[in-house]
Amino acid sequence: MTFLSKPGVTCLGRLSYAASMTKHLFVAFLLASAAPSFAQAVPPEVAKLRDRALKDDYAYDIVEGLTTEVGPRLAGTEAEARARDWAVRKLKAMGFANVRVEPFDMPVWVRGEEKAWITAPFPQPLAVTALGNSGATPAQGIEGDLVGFSTLDELKAAPDSAVRGKIVFVDHQMPRTQDGSSYGYFGTPRREGPTIASRKGALAIVVRSIGTDHHRNPHTGVMRFDEGVAPIPAGALSVPDAEQVQRILKRGQPVRLKLVLTPRNIGTRQSGNVVAEVPGRDPKAPPILVSGHLDSWDLGTGAIDDASGVAIAAASAKRIMDAGRPLRTIRVVWFGAEEVGLFGGLDYRAKHGKEPHYAIAESDFGADRVWKVDSKLGKEREAEAKALQSALAPLGIVPGALDEADGSDIGPMLADGLPGVAFAQDGTYYFDLHHTPDDTLDKVDPEALRQNVAAWTTMLAVLSGGIEPEPKRRKQR
Ligand SMILES: [Zn+2]
């Protein structure tokens, strides 16, 4: 009602006749002629849960606690193990049931020293970081001629002789987008560049950071050498440093670069998914999975990537738990080891992917506001998907596709055909911070985080099958 009364009043203000009866008729007309998804009545209990979540504190409390008491949580390391311990304590303290860790093994890579300098013609230091799975230089570093390419395609097209024995630089400029779609294409130098450079006989590669900021923070991120390709040192320069290198290369003199990157592979270690539940009244009904990833890159404290995501998932489940018992179980999963290769999602899929799920969803795109909802619940559940769209509209969320959903850890399970919901968050500034030392708590806007929790709570309220208040115990006198 709140949603419909606002535009109604605005329109009526411009009418010369303002009899109250006419107003009512006009509002009725608006109701009838509005887009069908808006005309659907939102059940009052759903609206109440949604609006109350706009005052949520659970999510910020989780982000603040995890980033303060654990900090960076690189996959498979002792820090990620501490994060799992923290998560189990926190989720139990919040009142979740069946809180457990589902462990799995994975290969672990850790960062070493990282430095870079232009040694000729204009000697100066550069801000660099190693990409995940980068090979290492000797402790004293390597020095070589630098050869630059504006795009990955230029590197691909270059003859081996132009690259062999040299250090490669790729400058691929990523533009800002609301939906983050530029990350796929402009992220290829990071993901594929090292393999291509190594095949052509390069000594090492440095790429322009896959980021949209102009701070002197390099952006890390995972890459993987193709089977049989020799690992070479692979780093990212901060955007200002990449632009500096480009200017130096344009001067036309031979450029020399010195690089020290000493990461190590430390073998197989344990990671794990942390699982917690709000048990449903019907234990046989397929659960609704809400998730984020617990691990983070090691440069910042992983506040937006992805403490905010795990917080949004758990806070929305907690808000349903506070209201009573849903028909369907809500399963909260804080995936381990997402950043380095979706290990947690793949482990969950191996263990549970064949079990039916009512819906799966993951929050892993920062802490900014949700602007769109996509879903893929199936043709026969279109009415339910539209009811969800209606209930979300007062949060400023536009209806998206009814036949697609995405997510990082849950991506393979969505591809398998499990039904899913995907909230699109505003990504305009996400890649200013993504995988940098700047991913810290102060970047999280509590208001935007609450809007996320409200959206997720609404989704759970709509899909839960109805929430019944816990029977109140009579006071014993
Ligand atoms: Zn993430």
Q: What is the pLDDT of residue 410?
A: 98
Q: What is the pLDDT of residue 41?
A: 84
359-362 and 325-326 beta bridge pairing: unpaired
CA of 294 to the centre of ligand 1 (A): 9
pLDDT at 440 over 70: yes
CA of 365 to the centre of ligand 1 (A): 6
Cα–Cα distance, 69 to 88 (Å, whole number): 14
pLDDT in tens, 201-254: 999 999 999 999 999 999 999 999 999 999 999 999 999 999 999 999 999 999
CA of 342 to the centre of ligand 1 (A): 10
CA of 340 to the centre of ligand 1 (A): 10
Cα–Cα distance, 17 to 187 (Å, whole number): 59
Using a 10 angstrom Cβ sphere, with 0-12 exposed, 13-18 middle and 19 or more buried, the burial of residue 150 is middle
CA of 309 to the centre of ligand 1 (A): 8
CA of 407 to the centre of ligand 1 (A): 10
CA of 221 to the centre of ligand 1 (A): 10
pLDDT in tens, 334-377: 999 999 999 999 999 999 999 999 999 999 999 999 999 999 99
| Opening angle at CA 63, ends 127 and 407, nearest 5 | 80
CA of 261 to the centre of ligand 1 (A): 24
Q: Which two tokens stand for residue 409?
A: 């850890």
CA of 236 to the centre of ligand 1 (A): 18
Q: Which residues pair with 422 in a beta bridge?
A: 374
Instruction: Give the least confident one: 53-67, 159-173, 176-190.
Output: 176-190
pLDDT in tens, 295-312: 999 999 999 999 999 999
Instruction: Give the least confident one: 5-14, 83-92, 270-279, 424-433.
Output: 5-14
CA of 250 to the centre of ligand 1 (A): 36
**In which band, very low, low, confident or very high, does the pLDDT at 472 lie, cut at 50, 70 and 90?**
low
Q: Angle of helix 446-463 relative to helix 44-53, nearest 10 degrees?
A: 160
User: Smallest Cα–Cα separation from 5: which of 302, 13, 334?
Assistant: 13
Average pLDDT over residues 64-79: 98
pLDDT at 31 over 70: no
CA of 151 to the centre of ligand 1 (A): 25
The one-letter amino acid at 64: E
Average pLDDT over residues 56-68: 98
pLDDT at 17 over 50: no
pLDDT at 84 over 70: yes
CA of 293 to the centre of ligand 1 (A): 7
Mean pLDDT, rounded, of the chain: 92
CA of 409 to the centre of ligand 1 (A): 9
**In which band, very low, low, confident or very high, does the pLDDT at 40 lie, cut at 50, 70 and 90?**
low
Higher pLDDT, 256 or 37: 256
Cα–Cα distance, 188 to 192 (Å, whole number): 5
Average pLDDT over residues 384-402: 98
Cα–Cα distance, 463 to 384 (Å, whole number): 8
CA of 337 to the centre of ligand 1 (A): 10
pLDDT at 32 over 70: no
CB–CB of 154/162 below 8 Å? Answer: no
Q: What is the pLDDT of residue 379?
A: 97
CA of 469 to the centre of ligand 1 (A): 35
Q: What is the pLDDT of residue 8?
A: 30
pLDDT in tens, 245-277: 999 999 999 999 999 999 999 999 999 999 999
Q: Residue 161: CA atoms inside 13 Å, Cβ hemisphere, count?
A: 0
Q: What is the pLDDT of residue 189?
A: 87
Helix (H, G, I), strand (E, B) or coil at 366: coil
pLDDT in tens, 109-146: 999 999 999 999 999 999 999 999 999 999 999 999 99
The one-letter amino acid at 37: S
CA of 298 to the centre of ligand 1 (A): 12
Cα–Cα distance, 54 to 288 (Å, whole number): 22
Q: N- to C-terminal Cα distance for the chain? A: 43
Helix (H, G, I), strand (E, B) or coil at 316: helix
pLDDT in tens, 377-387: 999 999 999 99
